[in-house]
Amino acid sequence: MSVPARDPISPVQAAHNRAEKVEKRRQDLSEHHAHYLAANTAWHVDGRSQILVKKPMDNTVNVVPEPAIISVIDRIDSDDLYVACDGGYKGPTPYTKDFSGVKLSFKFGKPVGVSKVADDFELLVKRIQTLEKEVAVMGANETISIVHHNKHFPSSSLIKLRHSLFSKVDNQVHAESVPLEDDSEDTAENQAAQALDALQDTHVVNVPPFYDMHFMLLNPLTYRAHLEGAVAEIRFTLVHHVIGKGNNLKNVFTADVVDVVIIHGAPPRIVTPRRARVFAIHPSSPTKRPRQG
DSSP 2: P
Q: Phi-psi category of 95—alpha, beta or left, where left has phi over 0 and alpha has psi -120 to 50?
A: alpha
- Select the more confidently predicted residue: 185 or 281: 281
Q: Which ranges constitute the DSSP H helices of 136-275? A: 191-198, 223-227
- Select the more confidently predicted residue: 139 or 293: 139
User: Using one digit for the tens of pLDDT, what is the confidence trace for 29-78?
Assistant: 999 998 999 999 999 999 889 999 998 876 665 678 899 999 999 999 99
Question: What confidence score (pLDDT) does residue 281 get?
Answer: 77
Q: Compute the distance between CA of residue 217 and CA of residue 209 in angstroms, rounded to an integer.
A: 7
DSSP 293: -
Beta bridge partner(s), residue 41: 54
Strand residue runs (E) in the chain: 41-46, 49-54, 70-76, 103-109, 142-144, 147-149, 157-164, 166-168, 203-205, 210-211, 231-245, 248-264
pLDDT at 178 exceeding the cut of 60: no
User: Using one digit for the tens of pLDDT, what is the confidence trace for 224-272?
Assistant: 999 999 999 999 999 999 999 888 999 999 999 999 999 998 766 665 6
Question: Would you call 27 helix, strand, or coil by DSSP?
Answer: helix
Question: What confidence score (pLDDT) does residue 140 get?
Answer: 92
pTM: 0.82
Which of 165, 158, 163, 164 lies closest to 72 in space, CA to CA? 158
Rounded to 5 degrees, what angle do the CA atoms 283, 285, 286 make?
Answer: 130
User: Using one digit for the tens of pLDDT, what is the confidence trace for 195-210?
Assistant: 888 888 888 999 999 9
Cα 122 to chain centroid distance, Å, stands at 17
- Mean pLDDT, range 83-100, rounded to an integer: 85
Question: What confidence score (pLDDT) does residue 99 get?
Answer: 87
Q: Compute the distance between CA of residue 15 and CA of residue 265 in angstroms, rounded to an integer.
A: 12
Q: Compute the distance between CA of residue 61 and CA of residue 64 in angstroms, rounded to an integer.
A: 9
Question: What confidence score (pLDDT) does residue 172 get?
Answer: 47
Question: What confidence score (pLDDT) does residue 128 get?
Answer: 98
- Select the more confidently predicted residue: 277 or 52: 52
Which of 72, 80, 62, 86 lies closest to 26 in space, CA to CA? 72
| CB-based contacts of 91, cutoff 8 Å, min separation 6 | 191
Question: Would you call 100 helix, strand, or coil by DSSP?
Answer: helix
DSSP 155: T
- AA identity, residue 21: K
Q: Compute the distance between CA of residue 209 and CA of residue 202 in angstroms, rounded to an integer.
A: 22
Question: Would you call 37 helix, strand, or coil by DSSP?
Answer: coil
